[in-house]
Amino acid sequence: MARQRLDLGLDDRIGDMSDDAIYCRTYGHTNMPRPSGRARRAELRQQGLAESGLVCQVCGRDRTDLIDLSTWEVVSSSTTYPEGYLIKGGQGRLPRAAARKAMFVRRNWV
């Protein structure tokens, strides 16, 4: 059986994306809770809100959700991405398969 030639060219949008960002784009984030401080919790509680924070232990992405305590619905959400995570110039979404390919090529797994 003839060996199939592999296309090892990478998506141009990956460019300077960090290895940690590529890992998280391939497998998803490894989140740990980030608790709010006592003063922040008291301030939010007076407004009928609570805050849930998550930080990725691999890439450093930080997500914060504000939760309405009467309905337990998320009323707002914000995410801060580390340098080297986002695609430059708003060039769309990076398919998970493209991130996986980049991870394999960068680590010389193929």
Instruction: Judge whether 4 lies within some domain.
Output: no
Q: Is the pTM of this model over 0.85?
A: no
DSSP lists the bridge partners of residue 68 as 49
Place of tokens 């960068």: 106
Q: Return the axis-axis angle of helices 19-27 and 96-106, rounded to nearest 10°.
A: 130
Instruction: Judge whether 13 lies within some domain.
Output: no
Instruction: Judge whether 14 lies within some domain.
Output: no
Q: In which domain, by residue range, is 64 found?
A: 19-83+95-106
Residue 92 vs residue 101, higher pLDDT? 101
Instruction: Count how many domains the chain has.
Output: 1
Instruction: Judge whether 5 lies within some domain.
Output: no
Instruction: Judge whether 75 lies within some domain.
Output: yes
Q: pLDDT tens digits, residue range 7-63?
A: 667 777 787 889 999 999 999 999 999 999 999 999 999 999 999 999 999 999 999
Q: Is the pLDDT of residue 71 over 70?
A: yes
